[in-house]
Amino acid sequence: MEEITLYPSMLHYGEKIEAVDKIRLLMGLSGYSRNEYTIEPNFKYMKVGYWRPISNIQISYINEHSELAVIKEESWFDDDCGELYAYDILFLQGVV
């Protein structure tokens, strides 16, 4: 896979909205309704349900078809809840 260069500080707010709208579209095409996931207001991450994982196939699908941003899985262990998952939204180079 081609190496991706990220420049989150170079994006304008409108371009971030366009990138996030594409992720929302791809999540819908992957079978998720808008009430099943949350995208943080500053577009830094997305979570599904109560920090649930999504499959690697769905992550690959979103990353392959989004020209403006990719998502990257982050996980951590919580003593009360177990493994928790979130998805960083990383904006791609060339979106200016």
pLDDT tens across 3-20, in order? 555 544 456 777 888 899
- From the list 73, 95, 71, the residue with the least C-alpha distance to 84 is 73
User: Is this prediction's pTM over 0.85?
Assistant: no
Query: In the chain, which ranges are E strands?
Result: 37-39, 45-48, 69-78, 82-91
For the record, the structure tokens of 52 come out as: 């649930």
Q: What's the rounded mean pLDDT across residues 59-88?
A: 94
Who contacts 95 (Cβ-Cβ below 8 Å, separation ≥6)? 10, 11, 15, 19, 68, 69
pLDDT in tens, 38-60: 999 888 999 999 999 999 999 99
Domain extent listing, the chain: 8-91
